[in-house]
Chains A and B, each alone.
Chain A
């Protein structure tokens, strides 16, 4: 029973962290209509920024800054926001496909850097000994899990409220007008572009924050955490939930993550070991097909509430 509670806390924490990423994507796509295929890359930038700044000295890479965790998170948001802003600056005056292609490229390059710039990122081995909040509770797993859940939930709540506030603010109304009415975008001209860059940068910062929170939650990061599959899962979560709604984004995340984890548990319990890599592949196929089917038959998702044009 206690184990189950602990696991529930762990599951929810993981889901909420993914939910923060989805919230960031919802600002970029749901509110502003900007297509990001490099989510995993932006999450990785945040995770590595915070990890490098907060970990104790390590022999094989730069480090030993020993920043407090919160400072690491703020830095993660700043650096990721900057990276997203630059991406937007380079592409947002062009057709929307260019942003998609460039974000894809960003993810490829981030993957390259995390794998190969060993002096900075630790290479394939990643970064370990990332300080975890409430590490003193680690002796009693349930308390530790719940303390973590509380931290993650608090961050999620803050991000959620901030994004809700932003989307209702005049700034958010401009973004919505920009996405729904091309004429408004044209009449705003140059400042339309700057609004979009701002939205993309803030969305990126939120993703970076999620990456950082996740890094400190697990205590260890490696390039393999940030493969294109992550990007893909986040998209499925947002589309299931319904792009444009922050509540939908969170609900969609929890539902998709539950399906994903459930399918994984199912296959590891019932499928012979030598077939497990294959069933894992099949899981991704299923999510891919689901994403396409949602686009075809229910483009507004299941929990969006508000209908988008």
Chain B
């Protein structure tokens, strides 16, 4: 490939970076709070709630993300056509416009959020359970109520403890966004594959790899910085 071709290829990839970033950002935005809620539900003393949450986590972690994306994506059109679909559900599904431009992104995002919330929840649960019982007892003896204890005493300590495991998960997400390519979502992988065929060259794939690599490395540095910042106490 000529240097002009490479330069225009780079330009093209840069133009397709925002969809990748959008999927990455929105997944984190929803999956992290949802993961915290799922973690608390799994630790819930009401057994059925804990079991159901555990079943959800088992399914999300036990099946491929790609399969989940495909299931979520096609669930709406297939259920709409199914004669067995309950009327109540059909009413809701009919409101979903599968022709609209945002439909694809929303469905992919739902699959990513559900999957990543399950992984985050296990990280958060581990973090919460690693806080010594004495912290709760000290807070209780000082008159803090449950909400104050969680948000002022427990959560800040959990954040520090879950940063290393979470950063691992977040870096995996950078690369997992490429799975959206399978649904025709126009992110970096999608354009790389297309340009590969167009030029009959591996350079576009190599370049896509560099994009992911740079992004992941940037995050690695960022998390190393955050970890260092949070090292003011042990």
The judgment on whether A and B are partners is: no
